[in-house]
Amino acid sequence: MSLFSAVEMAPRDPILGLNEAFNADTRSTKVNLGVGVYYNEEGRIPLLRAVAEAEKARLAAHAPRGYLPIEGLSSYDSAVQKLLFGEGSSLLAEGRVVTTQSLGGTGALKTGADFLKRLLPTAVVAISNPSWENHRALFESAGFPVQNYRYYDADSQGVDRAGMLADLKALPARSIIVLHACCHNPTGVDLSLDDWKAVLDVLREREHVPFLDIAYQGFGDGIDQDAEAVRLFAESGLQFFVSSSFSKSFSLYGERVGALSIVTDSPEETSRVLSQVKRVIRTNYSNPPTHGATIVGNVLNSPELRSLWEAELTEMRERIRGMRMAMVQGLAEMGASRDFSFVARQRGMFSYSGLSPEQVERLRTEFGIYAIGTGRICVAALNRNNLGPVLNAIKAVI
Ligand code: PMP
Question: Do residues 50 and 299 make contact, with C-beta atoms less than 8 angstroms apart?
Answer: yes
**Amino acid in position 272:** R
What is the DSSP annotation of 105-160? HHHHHHHHHHHHHHH-TT--EEEEES--HHHHHHHHHTT--EEEEE-EETTTTEE-
Cα 73 to averaged position of ligand 1 atoms, centre (Å): 21
From start to end of 293-356, where are the E strands? Answer: 350-352
ipTM, interface predicted TM-score of the complex: 0.99
Entry pTM:
0.97
Q: Is 213 in the pocket of ligand 1 (CB under 6 A)?
A: yes
- pLDDT > 90? residue 1: yes
- Of the candidates 182, 247, 169, 238, the one whose C-alpha atom is nearest the C-alpha of residue 209 is 238
Q: Is 102 in the pocket of ligand 1 (CB under 6 A)?
A: no
pLDDT tens profile 64-120: 999 999 999 999 999 999 999 999 999 999 999 999 999 999 999 999 999 999 999
Instruction: Check residue 101 and report its DSSP letter.
Output: E
What pLDDT score does 14 carry? 77
- Report the b/e string of 382-392 with b at 16+ CB within 10 A: bbeebeeebbe
Q: Assign 354 a pLDDT band (cuts: 50, 70, 90).
A: very high
Q: Is 215 in the pocket of ligand 1 (CB under 6 A)?
A: yes
What is the DSSP annotation of 239-251? -EEEEEE-TTTTT
Q: Is 110 in the pocket of ligand 1 (CB under 6 A)?
A: no
Closest ligand 1 atom to residue 257 Cα is: 15
Helix, strand, coil shares, percent, the chain, to 5: 50, 15, 35
Closest ligand 1 atom to residue 131 Cα is: 3
Q: Is 36 in the pocket of ligand 1 (CB under 6 A)?
A: yes
pLDDT tens profile 126-137: 999 999 999 999
**Amino acid in position 85:** F
Residues classed as catalytic: 132, 213, 248
Q: Tell me the C-alpha distance between 189 and 352, whole Å.
A: 8
Cα 245 to averaged position of ligand 1 atoms, centre (Å): 7
